[in-house]
Amino acid sequence: MSVFRKYHTGLFALLSLYGLLACGGIDNAVTRTVAESVMLGPAWTVLPVAPPLEVRRTGQKILMRLDGIRDWVKPFAGPLLLRDGSSIDIEVELTDQTGQRHSLIPISIGASIGFGPAQPEEGAGFFKNRRFVELRVRASRPILAQRIDWYCWTGK
């Protein structure tokens, strides 16, 4: 029996694991649900967060699952487009432990809309010492946020 035949299964498993780690195939993201089934409108919806949201990994964003979002007018700026062709503006702010507010902008679109810092402080997100104690959200017209999550990830 050749050495290759004897060890090929183990070698394949080892190389596969290396490929997953090197290519980002293993998701080490941290997700924390902040709220579910929240109706947003023109007035600020204030969601106190206890314990505070911690900055982890390289990047952080608020993910919102919103009914009816189809696209955005212009990535990273402007309103989001609904299936009926109309538009909606969503404003998102995080308040840190010092009381400072941080405005977030749409940075990703998919099953959930990602809102992150326009100008990251460190990596793709915030300084590691920040703790966020409040999330504020409003929309230019009523829309249901099915779920709002704090999402921290490490890029590839």
Q: What is the pLDDT of residues 98-129, one digit of tens each?
A: 999 999 999 999 889 999 998 899 988 999 99
Helix, coil or strand: residue 151: strand
Q: Which of 103, 114, 134, 106 is nearest to 60 (CA)?
A: 114
Contact (Cβ atoms closer than 8 angstroms) between residue 115 and residue 106: yes
| pLDDT tens digit sequence for 16-50 | 444 444 444 556 899 999 999 999 999 999 999 99
Q: Which of 24-28, 75-79, 93-97, 133-137 has the lowest mean pLDDT?
A: 24-28
The DSSP element (H or E) to which 93 belongs, if any, is: strand 90-96
CB atoms within 10 A of CB 43: 8
Name the pLDDT band for 147 (thresholds 50, 70, 90): very high
Query: Is 132 in contact with 46 (CB distance < 8 Å)?
Result: no
Domains and their CATH numbers in the chain: 28-153 (2.60.120)
The pLDDT score that the predictor gives to residue 21 is: 44
Tell me the whole-structure pTM to 2 decimals: 0.80
The answer to whether 38 and 149 have CB atoms below 8 angstroms apart is no
What pLDDT was estimated at residue 73?
80
